[in-house]
């Protein structure tokens, strides 16, 4: 399959890499020329401009930050779009924006697929989890590409336009609460009744047979094994908009989300105060799975 990749950050580079390894032809573009040249080592073909990329591809995968930049990139593509082309937004766009974009592109006979993409930096080697929305017949035409990107059994068709990003939004809301829960447990063990507990060994035991074993638990064990110096780690937790969007959706649908509400409040508090051991662990976990940089102290 011939595919154009726009946006070659951590996730975009990983997707380009996996597509190349699966035998697809990848045309790559990023405003940072160094990132464009870097993917050549995987066999991707670098493009110096969007015009050059569009001349080669009828399937375009966007991996750019959510928000206005998606519309900006789409407007750059408009002069080169032709009937039957397909654009996939693999970022964390708001599902309402996705529905609007889909309708705009459908009016000029261009397909638009939304693909919620989860897996962080480890997805490069292990494969990603893909939540896909849009026209089902277009989804079916791209299954070979989804197989290249996804972990085994790691993708599915969700429903109409916006539904993939909607499910990924809720996924991220769940993630916020899970991270906070694990981190608070370790904070209590660190400062609790019994002193000098071996948290790394506890995390390892929790990962083998316990009811709360998970990938986050595995990453927690790795973070603790590195023996972090909590005194010198900034405790502010960064975030994107997906957690707040999930919270807003809960209010709109009259679905209570107290765990997410508290996790968001704690993140805000952590950025104001520098946080505590639990927020430092969440920040370290975010860096481990997503490559998110620690905030300045």
Asked if residues 148 and 24 have their Cβ atoms less than 8 Å apart, the reply is: yes
Is the sign of the CA dihedral 130, 293, 235, 126 positive or negative?
positive
Quote the longest CA-to-CA distance of the chain: 67
Active site residues: 168, 175
Contacts of residue 26, defined as CB under 8 A and 6 or more positions apart, other chains included, come to 3, 4, 5, 16, 19, 20, 39, 42, 43, 44, 45
Q: Which of 129, 126, 132, 96 is nearest to 114 (CA)?
A: 132
Number of H helices, E strands in the chain: 14, 8
Q: How does DSSP classify residue 294?
A: P
233 vs 296: CA distance, rounded Å: 9
Asked if residues 27 and 83 have their Cβ atoms less than 8 Å apart, the reply is: no
């Amino acid at each position: 399959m011939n595919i154009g990749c726009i946006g070659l950050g951590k996730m975009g580079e990983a997707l380009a890499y996996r597509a190349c390894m699966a035998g697809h032809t990848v045309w790559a573009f990023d405003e940072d020329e160094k990132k464009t040249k870097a993917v050549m080592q995987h066999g991707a073909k670098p493009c110096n401009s969007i015009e050059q990329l569009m001349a080669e591809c009828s399937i375009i995968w966007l991996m750019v930050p959510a928000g206005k930049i998606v519309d900006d990139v789409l407007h750059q593509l408009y002069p080169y779009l032709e009937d039957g082309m397909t654009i996939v937004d693999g970022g964390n766009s708001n599902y309402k924006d996705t529905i609007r974009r889909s309708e705009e592109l459908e009016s000029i006979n261009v397909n638009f697929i939304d693909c919620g993409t989860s897996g962080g930096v480890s997805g490069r080697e292990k494969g990603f989890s893909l939540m896909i929305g849009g026209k089902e017949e277009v989804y079916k035409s791209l299954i070979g590409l989804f197989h290249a990107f996804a972990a085994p059994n790691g993708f599915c068709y969700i429903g109409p336009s916006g539904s993939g990003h909607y499910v990924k939004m809720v996924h991220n809301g769940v993630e916020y609460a899970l991270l906070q829960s694990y981190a608070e447990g370790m904070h209590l063990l660190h400062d609790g009744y019994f002193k000098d507990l071996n948290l790394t060994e506890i995390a390892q035991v929790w990962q083998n047979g316990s009811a709360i074993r998970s990938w986050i638990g595995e990453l927690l064990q790795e973070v603790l094994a590195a023996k972090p110096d909590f005194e010198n780690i900034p405790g502010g937790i960064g975030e994107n908009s997906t957690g707040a969007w999930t919270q807003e959706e809960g209010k709109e649908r009259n679905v209570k989300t107290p765990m997410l509400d508290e996790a968001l409040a704690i993140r805000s508090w952590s950025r104001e105060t520098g946080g505590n051991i639990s927020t430092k662990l969440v920040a370290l976990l975010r860096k481990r799975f997503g490559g998110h940089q620690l905030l300045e102290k």
